[in-house]
Amino acid sequence: MIELKNLHKSFEDKEVLKGISTVFESGKTNLIIGQSGSGKTVLIKNIVGLFEPTTGQILYDGRNYVAMNKKEKTMLRREMGMIFQNAALFDSMSVLENVMFPLDMFSNDTLRERTKRAQFCLDRVNLIEAQNKYPGEISGGMQKRVAIARAIALNPKYLFCDEPNSGLDPKTSLVIDELIHDITAEYNMTTIINTHDMNSVMGIGEHIIYIFEGHKEWEGTKDEIISSNNERLNSFIFASDLFRKVKEVELKEELEHKK
Ligand SMILES: Nc1ncnc2c1ncn2[C@@H]1O[C@H](COP(=O)(O)OP(=O)(O)OP(=O)(O)O)[C@@H](O)[C@H]1O
Ligand SMILES: [Mg+2]
């Protein structure tokens, strides 16, 4: 579980995060949605420690990340897995070597154990047959799956994904979403995902926070989002075709019910 308490972040005189509080539970896919520029990436970067918040607390299972010293922060970072926008694989390393990289860096296991663990993770994302290929030889969706395998190699308690579906077609996005959702439940990780993708919201939005100009405008589940009366949220989600259709059907049913 990750808890944010009144998180603020300013860059010089520009306040980007204006006091965000929420709880991201473990075993759930927590989604952060909002318009471009609303502060999603800045928020996730604060949570993982790439930025330092101006004020506020970030509690990792009760442990206040902001108040930790450098050594404690480094230790906590080992419990985090991250998947950023471009899969960020090493082109000169094979798929297997990419997944082994964090193990080579941070574990004391033997080569044989590290190889076994990396192969286990690759198998989990259905890519064991591609282990000896290079990133340039596999599709974008496969690269994302390698990035997921690498992110879970060290068995993280916390998983962060900034726009994991960018550049992927809808069907491949669905595969990635389901994979992230399933491993989150399987390993009881606390997963936080930044997304623009309304298909993701409807597919895996177990807990959603909607950020509007740096503050939390709305919070709820994928079922609650359809019937929300929040105007800012509705105008954001109405921009998506999928949502317009779902909402229109709902409104029609409501009207018919009233007749
Ligand atoms: N290092 C920085 N210094 C100053 N301002 C920054 C910095 N990083 C981000 N910002 C500003 O913070 C605001 C929020 O940016 P952020 O990248 O978090 O948006 P976002 O919601 O992730 O958008 P997108 O959906 O396009 O990825 C923007 O106005 C941006 O210019
Ligand atoms: Mg962003």
Which atom of ligand 1 lies at the shortest distance from residue 45's CA? 18
> Among candidates 83, 77, 169, which has minimal Cα distance to 121?
83
What does residue 159 show for φ and ψ, rounded to 5 degrees? -125, 130
pLDDT, residue 38, reads 95
Q: Give the residue whose CA is nearest to atom 6 of ligand 1.
A: 11
pLDDT, residue 241, reads 66
Give dist(CA 174, CA 114) in Å, integer. 30
Nearest ligand, measured from the Cα of 38:
1
Ligand 1 centroid, distance to 39 Cα (angstroms): 5
pLDDT, residue 196, reads 83
pLDDT, residue 256, reads 81
Low-confidence residues of the chain: pLDDT under 50:
none
Q: Which of 31, 42, 86 to mutate to test the pocket of ligand 1 (most atoms within 8 A of CB)?
A: 42
Tokens of 162: 């900034």
Contact 59, 65 (CB under 8 A): yes
Please give the CATH number for the structural domain made up of 2-79+156-258.
Answer: 3.40.50.300
Q: What residue segments make up the domains of the chain, in order of their start? A: 2-79+156-258, 89-155
Q: CA distances (Å), 47 to each of 55, 139, 212, 252, in order?
A: 12, 30, 18, 41
pLDDT, residue 156, reads 95
pLDDT, residue 57, reads 97
